């Protein structure tokens, strides 16, 4: 079992920045791909970014490419999402997730096995 806890969300103005943190416990994240998803009001949960088991490969949704950066520190059992130039469309609950069966990234939501409870990000002036 893996317990994931997100932190770092909050209220930020358009153009601002936030860094989200995903802290894992119960199991090492070292051999597993991880990702960030988000869910905005009235919308389905959507893929944001993913990272492979050693952090050497990342992938992003088109909407955040060039503005967000995903990273991880396996020795700390932690993953991060650095968000810059935030827009109102980035508002939502952000979730971290882990793929228990693979080291490699995927955008297929069903592949992810463990989820945190989310952290709210609100971008508004």
- Rounded to a whole number of angstroms, the CA Rg of the chain reads 13
Please state, in angstroms and rounded to a whole number, the distance separating the CA atoms of residues 5 and 88.
24
Q: Is the pLDDT of residue 2 over 90?
A: yes
Please state, in angstroms and rounded to a whole number, the distance separating the CA atoms of residues 64 and 14.
14
Query: Which pLDDT does position 47 carry in this prediction?
Result: 97
- Sorting pLDDT into bands at 50, 70 and 90, what band is 27? very high
User: Distances from the Cα of 35 to the Cαs of 65, 124, 125, in angstroms?
Assistant: 14, 25, 28
Helix (H) or strand (E) holding 122: strand 119-123
Query: Which pLDDT does position 16 carry in this prediction?
Result: 98
- For residue range 56-99, list pLDDT tens digits in order: 999 999 999 999 999 999 999 999 999 999 999 999 999 999 99
Query: Which pLDDT does position 41 carry in this prediction?
Result: 86
Query: Which pLDDT does position 40 carry in this prediction?
Result: 93
């Amino acid at each position: 079992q893996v317990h994931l806890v997100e932190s770092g969300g909050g209220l930020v103005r358009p153009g601002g920045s936030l860094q989200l943190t995903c802290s894992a416990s119960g199991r090492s994240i070292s051999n597993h791909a991880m990702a960030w998803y988000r869910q905005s009001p009235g919308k389905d949960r959507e893929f944001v970014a993913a990272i492979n088991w050693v952090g050497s490969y990342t992938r992003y949704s088109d909407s955040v490419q060039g503005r967000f950066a995903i990273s991880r520190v396996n020795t700390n059992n932690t993953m991060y999402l650095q968000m810059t130039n935030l827009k109102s469309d980035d508002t939502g609950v952000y979730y971290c997730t882990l793929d228990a069966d693979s080291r490699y990234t995927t955008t297929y939501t069903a592949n992810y096995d463990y989820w945190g409870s989310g952290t709210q990000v609100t971008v508004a002036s």
